[in-house]
């Protein structure tokens, strides 16, 4: 097969594959943020991990190995070097190699069903997962994030807003702070009020689950996208993405996704309330503000300014979505004894 290597650092990566793994790839291609290497139909991905703690790498390995043993063919597994090591060090930089022998996208994606199967397999892991776990930690994370953003807000106020983004941030933050506090209280009440079922045990989740995370040209479940958490995290973040992508027409896709998911794993009241709490927490707003003040790119600044303007303009629509969320999803709060937030603007 003709060698089709990309320029730059790829040559170094190929040398590493040969030196440490005795692999001479036939082709390489860029896939998102990764360069993939092919040999004899197998896919290899070299991942830099210098800044990732060894304890985290061990847990990602354990989760990956478990899911693979449970029959998930699309999971990337850790590939041992010729010295039977999963972690190699070259010029003071650390790497692991991921391996996939099967990357075909199913004819019917059925994303809700596939995610439920993924969670089902992940939930049966026997290893103790601690360093990559967010189970029971949402309140701490949210409070810390709110505190950090509040400090930034005070700083911008004191220094006087000097552009449109600053002005919008100063104006909108008190509203989103209130929403954040509501989300934290709703989460606390949920953890106090609701009994958990077996399906509420921790499982392998994604930092941000979305339509593209498993890929478009091939399906790959990458351990470096994972956290150990409650399954509602993935469901809520997928719904959030769908809503902000197409707020006028998101509902059929979301209803179908949830119907597929519950065809495998019916959701408990506890799960539903965690999904709602997570959607109530304005993660989209927090990420927009944080990204703006962390980047120096003028292009990104403009994009984030437009995004914040959209969030501000459409905030009452999002309130309406949250105010009718349970009913939209076919779960009447009165019948299921689920508390609602009563301050939302709910349009008829």
pLDDT digits 0-9 by tens, 252-310: 999 999 999 999 999 999 999 999 999 999 999 999 999 999 999 999 999 999 999 99
Query: Can you give the CATH number for the domain in which 50 is found?
Result: 3.30.200.20
pLDDT band at 86 (very low <50, low <70, confident <90, very high): very high
Q: Which pLDDT value is given to residue 217?
A: 85
320 vs 185: CA distance, rounded Å: 20
Residue 45: φ, ψ to 5°: -135, 120
Identify whether residues 188 and 274 lie together within a single domain: yes
Q: Give the tens place of pLDDT for each residue, 5-45.
A: 444 455 668 889 999 999 999 998 888 888 899 999 999 99
Contact 27, 44 (CB under 8 A): no
For residue 112, pLDDT beyond 80: yes
Stronger pLDDT, 13 or 164, i.e. the higher one:
164
Q: Is the pTM of this model over 0.85?
A: yes
Asked whether residue 49 falls in the same domain as residue 170, the answer is no
Decide if 126 is inside a domain. no
Domain match, 298 and 153 both: yes
At residue 61 the predicted structure's pLDDT band, cuts being 50, 70 and 90, is very high
Does the structure show a pLDDT above 80 at 175?
yes
In a domain, 98, yes or no: yes
* 243 lies in the same domain as 189: yes
What pLDDT score was predicted for residue 194? 95
Burial group, residue 123, by CB count within 10 angstroms (0-12, 13-18, 19+): middle
Contacts of 213 by beta carbon, 8 Å cutoff, 6+ apart:
206, 225
Residues 82 and 183 occupy one common structural domain: no
Question: Do 98 and 152 sit in the same domain of this protein?
Answer: no
Please tell me the distance from the alpha carbon of residue 334 to that of residue 327, in angstroms, as a whole number.
Answer: 10
Q: Is the dihedral of CA 55, 56, 57, 58 positive or negative?
A: positive
| Structural contact between residues 309 and 211, judged by C-beta atoms closer than 8 angstroms | no
Q: Are residues 247 and 323 in the same domain?
A: yes
Question: 158 and 84, same structural domain?
Answer: no
- C-alpha span between 12 and 32 (Å, rounded): 19
Give the pairing type, strands 34-39 and 93-100.
unpaired
Report how many domains make up the chain.
2
Range of the domain at 35: 10-107
User: Do both 101 and 237 map to the same domain?
Assistant: no
The DSSP secondary structure of 120-153, one letter per residue, reads HHHHT--S---TTB-TT-HHHHHHHHHHHHHHHH
Q: What is the mean pLDDT of residues 227-237?
A: 98
For residue 3, pLDDT over 50 is answered with: no
Distance CA 129, CA 124 (A): 12
Instruction: Tell me, yes or no, whether 113 lies in a domain.
Output: no
Query: What proportion of the chain, given as a percentage, has pLDDT over 70?
Result: 95
Query: Residue 88 corresponds to which tokens in the numbers above?
Result: 């190699």
pLDDT for the residue numbered 147: 98
Q: Does some domain include residue 211?
A: no
Q: Of 135 and 13, which is predicted with more confidence?
A: 135
Radius of gyration of the chain from its Cα atoms, rounded to whole angstroms = 22
Q: Of the candidates 56, 85, 107, which is a domain's last residue?
A: 107
Query: Which pLDDT score is estimated for 178?
Result: 96
Q: Is residue 155 part of a domain?
A: yes
Q: Are 93 and 146 in a shared domain?
A: no
Same domain, 75 and 144: no
What are the phi and psi torsion angles at 242 (to 5°)? -60, -40
Residue 123 has pLDDT above 50, yes or no: yes
Average pLDDT over the chain, rounded to an integer: 93
Does residue 180 lie in a domain region?
yes
DSSP letter at 314? Answer: T
Burial class (CB in 10 A: 0-12, 13-18, 19+), 9: exposed
119 within some domain: no
Over range 81-86, report the average pLDDT: 96
Q: Which residues contact 200 (CB under 8 A, 6 or more apart)?
A: 230, 268, 270, 271
294-313 core/surface letters (b: 16 or more CB in 10 A; e: else): eeeeeeebeebbebbeebee
Q: Does residue 223 lie in a domain region?
A: no
Q: Phi then psi for 47, rounded to 5 degrees?
A: -115, 120
Please tell me the distance from the alpha carbon of residue 281 to that of residue 288, in angstroms, as a whole number: 14
Residues 269 and 145 in one domain: yes
Cβ–Cβ under 8 Å, residues 113 and 208: no
Q: What is the pLDDT of residue 4?
A: 40
């Amino acid at each position: 097969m003709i060698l089709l290597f990309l320029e730059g650092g790829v040559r170094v990566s190929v040398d590493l594959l040969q030196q440490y793994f005795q692999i001479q790839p036939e082709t390489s291609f860029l896939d998102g943020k990764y360069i993939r290497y092919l040999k004899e139909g197998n896919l290899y991905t070299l991942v830099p991990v210098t800044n990732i703690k060894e304890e985290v790498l061990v847990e990602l390995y354990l989760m990956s190995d478990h899911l693979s043993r449970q029959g998930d063919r699309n999971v990337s597994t850790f590939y041992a070097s010729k010295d039977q090591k999963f972690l190699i060090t070259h010029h003071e930089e650390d790497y692991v190699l991921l391996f996939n022998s099967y990357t075909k996208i199913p004819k019917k994606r059925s994303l809700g069903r596939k995610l439920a199967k993924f969670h089902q397999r992940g939930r049966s892991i026997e290893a103790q997962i601690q360093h990559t776990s967010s189970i029971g930690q949402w309140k701490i994370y949210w409070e810390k994030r709110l505190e950090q953003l509040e400090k930034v807000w005070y700083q911008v106020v004191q220094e006087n807003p000097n552009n449109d983004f600053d002005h919008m941030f100063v104006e909108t933050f008190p509203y989103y702070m209130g929403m954040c506090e509501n989300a934290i209280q709703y989460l606390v009440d949920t953890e106090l009020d609701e009994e958990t079922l077996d399906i509420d045990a921790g499982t392998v989740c994604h930092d941000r689950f979305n339509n593209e995370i498993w890929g478009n040209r091939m399906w790959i479940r990458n351990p470096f996208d994972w956290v150990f958490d409650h399954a509602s995290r993935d469901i809520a973040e997928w719904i959030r993405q769908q809503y902000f992508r197409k707020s006028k027409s998101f509902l059929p896709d979301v209803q179908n996704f949830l119907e597929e998911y519950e065809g495998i794993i019916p959701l408990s009241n506890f799960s539903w309330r965690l999904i709602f709490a997570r959607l109530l927490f304005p993660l989209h707003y927090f990420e927009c503000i944080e990204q703006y003040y962390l980047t120096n790119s003028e292009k990104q600044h403009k994009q984030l300014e437009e995004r914040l303007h959209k969030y501000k303009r459409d905030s009452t629509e999002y309130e309406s979505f949250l105010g009718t969320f349970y009913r939209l999803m076919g779960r009447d709060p009165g019948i299921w004894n689920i508390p609602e937030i009563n301050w939302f603007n709910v349009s008829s």
